[in-house]
């Protein structure tokens, strides 16, 4: 957490008459997750033919989110007609 955010939290706690010990007692000790090694989409590709792009298209089609004629993420977000 950056210093500015921490300062804002301390001001809120102070205004409410709380201190860090009371907040930790109510919320428990908090830790940030720093390990992102196991985060990814490889399992999605492994479930199909091994091609991640194809696996995403299949997933989007299955969920009804793939519009015919879309070729890029921009097409999916803005629609194929909105390209400039």
pLDDT band at 39 (very low <50, low <70, confident <90, very high): confident
Domain ranges of the chain: 1-32, 42-82
pTM of the model: 0.40
What is the C-alpha to C-alpha distance for residues 22 and 5, in angstroms, rounded to an integer? 18
Q: What is the mean pLDDT of residues 68-74?
A: 76
* pLDDT at position 61 over 80: yes
Residue found by looking up tokens 């009371």 in the block: 22
Percent of the chain having pLDDT more than 90?
0
């Amino acid at each position: 957490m950056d210093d500015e955010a921490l300062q804002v939290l301390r001001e809120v706690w102070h205004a409410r008459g709380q201190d860090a010990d009371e907040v930790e007692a109510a919320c428990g000790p908090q830790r940030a997750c720093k390990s992102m090694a196991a985060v990814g989409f490889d399992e999605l590709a492994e479930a199909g033919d091994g091609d991640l792009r194809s696996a995403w298209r299949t997933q989007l089609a299955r969920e009804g989110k793939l519009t015919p004629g879309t070729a890029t993420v921009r097409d999916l977000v803005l629609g194929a007609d909105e390209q400039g």
